[in-house]
Amino acid sequence: MLRLRPYKACDASAIVSWIGDETAFRKWCADRFDHYPITAEDINRHYEALADSDSFYQMTAFDETGAVGHMIMRFTDEQKSVLRFGFVIVDSKKRGMGYGKQMLRLAIQYAFDILKADRITLGVFENNASAYHCYKAAGFCDVKLEKPEYYHIMNQDWKCLELMLDRPSKADEISVRSERIAPGEYINFLKRTDLGSQYPKERFEERIARLVQTVSVSLAARNGEGMLVGVLFGVTDFAYWLFVTDLGVARDYERRGIGKRLMQTALRLAGGEKNIAVYLAAHEKAIPFYEKLGMKRSENVMQYNHVEWTEFTVE
């Protein structure tokens, strides 16, 4: 399995050997070091000079045999939103094995998760068809050049590409926390879920008000704008068991892992999976969800509010 990590001095000798196999990179490096052949010491000196930069990142890809690929990333704007990939090279002995695609995928993930970039740009020689198609397959798009003459480098024409990294809007940033939910807010939430059908209609508002104030576990999932999008209520002795009385997610936020996060948080608050057994009764529509969570379905079925409920446990 391929992994990506920051460059280390011990990678330099491998990079030098790959440069010797690549005419374009040999020219690229010679332009920076004023001589050829380039040595491992040259590579290290070059990178050490940039090591303190908070806009420049040197990455090495490696598998169980050692270093197999290398690239640099650098921000091109003060806001650190536009990241440029460069000096992308793979060991010639590893060509045709999918290493380039794997390294690119890992680099994009690193740019998104760690560096928080919004856009990635790069350039590729027009005659490097394999690399160009690799970038296109990863989602990069051609960029129209305002000044094409700037991209005639080392007697070769370059193509420029970019990839937009779509980040969730503030409304999609979900937080889960323990809090008491106001009765009116919970009633409005029920209208946006299938959870409301489980409650008897007699003295509905009165009983909901009592419910939200008395449960021992009360969790709310909210989006970045503060809207309630998920709820878990439960009763526990904080020693042996947790009975989940209510678990629901707004219809517009289903299949985003919110229910799983609520369940995991509730179990942790109650005392942890090593100490706590979880029990709940599920409406037939919710059975697939609890089965995906790995809960054990029992043969016990109960009748309540003219609906069949199936017992689930985690022990």
Give the pLDDT score at 56: 84
Q: Which runs of E-coded beta strand occur in 26-131?
A: 56-63, 66-75, 82-90, 119-125
Give the pLDDT score at 222: 93
23-57 pLDDT per residue, tens: 555 555 555 555 556 777 777 777 777 766 778 88
Q: Say if pTM beats, i.e. exceeds, 0.85.
A: no
Domains of the chain: 3-164 (3.40.630.30), 170-314 (3.40.630.30)
**Within 10 Å of residue 104's Cβ, how many Cβ atoms?**
27
Question: Among 141-150, 161-170, 194-203, which is the least confidently predicted range?
Answer: 141-150
What would the two tokens of residue 126 be? 């027009």
Q: How far apart are CA 271 and CA 279, in angstroms?
A: 14
Question: Among 19-33, 60-74, 172-186, 297-311, which is the least confidently predicted range?
Answer: 297-311
Q: How far apart are CA 284 and CA 269, in angstroms?
A: 27
Cβ burial 218-239 (10 Å sphere, 16+ → b, else e):
bbbbbbeeebbbbbbbbebeee
Region label for 227, one of left (φ > 0), alpha (ψ between -120 and 50) or beta (otherwise): beta
pLDDT at 315 over 50: no
Give CA 260 to chain center in angstroms.
16
203-218 pLDDT per residue, tens: 989 999 999 999 999 9
